[in-house]
Structure 1
């Protein structure tokens, strides 16, 4: 009987620790895209964007990510290219992204590259409050760090690299 109680107690403690893990999620908008061809629906990063991607890598140099998520566009992938990440996964639906991170990366560190019209939506999907009302087409230097536990997220907004509004 004592062994059974001990086993149940250890199982409960292990389950509590597993469920209460804090996941660190970094969310960034892709860097500046090449706008020379307005017909191009999937442009690469501009020269300025490649510099910003390098600045992102410098800003995050001490963070060891377990995985990265990006939309299936060149600019989001290229934004993450300067980071050393073992696995980069495409996503298209913010809710599915959040479900995948919570299920497969609980207690880990991940980074998400999105777009001006999806970054704040993703923050809310993780249970965080919008730190800004909106991101404009010129907002490239914000990065958001979420500490996610269960269905709540604490959000910290920072800026990196060259300021976008000169």
Structure 2
């Protein structure tokens, strides 16, 4: 009986500890894409985008990221290429992304590369408040840092690289 209560207590403590951990998540839109061929559905980064991807690596150089999540498009992957990340995982929908992070990467440092129409939704899905009304097709320089604890997230918005809005 004592062993049973010990195991229950230990399980309860582990659960409390897991809920108390803060997960640090960086969310960024992919860098500038090559628009030379409007028919191309999966374009590479433009030269400007490659420079911004390098700027992202400089901006995050002191961060020891544990994992990255990217949509299966070349431009999101290439945005993360300059970063030193042990593992990059593709995601296709925000709900499963959030579930995966909460199940497997609690307390870790993560970067997520998304798109102008998904970045703010990702922030909300982790419990954060939208720091901007919207991201336009020209917004490439924003980066969002979320400190997620349980179902709530504190959000800080910054800019990196060459400012898009002067």
TM-score (norm 1): 0.94
| Equivalent-residue separation in structure 1 for 2:105 and 2:7 (angstroms) | 27
Where structure 2 has 5 or more consecutive residues not aligned to the other structure, the ranges are: none
Match of 1:107 in 2: 107
Match of 1:165 in 2: 165
Aligned partner of residue 61 in structure 1, secondary structure = coil
Aligned partner of residue 113 in structure 2, secondary structure = strand
Q: Following superposition of structure 1 onto structure 2, how do residues 22-101 of structure 1 map, counting pairs within 5 Å?
A: 22-101=22-101
Backbone CA RMSD of aligned residues: 1.5
Deviations 1:76-98 (A, max 9, x none): 00000000101101111011101
Instruction: Note closer, same or farther for the CA distance 1:3–1:104 as it changes in structure 2 (3 Å cut).
Output: closer
State the Cα distance separating 1:14 from its structure 2 match: 2.9
Match of 1:123 in 2: 123
State the Cα distance separating 1:16 from its structure 2 match: 1.1
Where structure 1 has 5 or more consecutive residues not aligned to the other structure, the ranges are: none
| Equivalent-residue separation in structure 2 for 1:4 and 1:96 (angstroms) | 34
